[in-house]
Amino acid sequence: VQLQASGGGAVQTGDSLRLSCVVSGRSIYTYTMGWFRRAPGKDREFVSAISWSGGVTLYEEVVRGRFDISRDNAKNSAYLQMNSLKPEDTAVYYCAADRYNRADLSRNVDDYDYWGQGTQVTVSS
């Protein structure tokens, strides 16, 4: 299973970006998809997750209301629409897939089995 994240870039405060994650090697139909990020000098942190059906989503508090996660199982893809970007959103963003059908979406890095290579998002003030 391979995940390919794209869509990052250098933008200004208040701008928007849409990240995409295309999965190959297996259908993501039963997988929870998640987005994480790693800012310079910090650990990888949870951003958002979406259930296999797309019916349940979870956001880290600092991005709630600004970011929107979605998926298209027919395209084996997940997306992260990021609006009202702030300098503190600057990080490498990773998409990830959790194989297990958990009762609750996980924020835990260790619960995700497959990872993309990351895409850089830089927000300047």
- pLDDT score of 103: 85
Confidence check: pLDDT of 123 > 90: yes
- pLDDT score of 102: 87
Distance between CA atoms of 121 and 113, rounded to whole angstroms? 23
Q: Which residues are within 8 A (CB) of 63 and not within 5 positions of it... i.e. 6 or more apart?
A: 47, 48, 82, 89
pLDDT digits (tens, 9 = 90+) for 7-57: 999 999 999 999 999 999 999 999 999 999 999 999 999 999 999 999 999
pLDDT digits (tens, 9 = 90+) for 72-110: 999 999 999 999 999 999 999 999 999 998 889 999 999
Confidence check: pLDDT of 64 > 90: yes
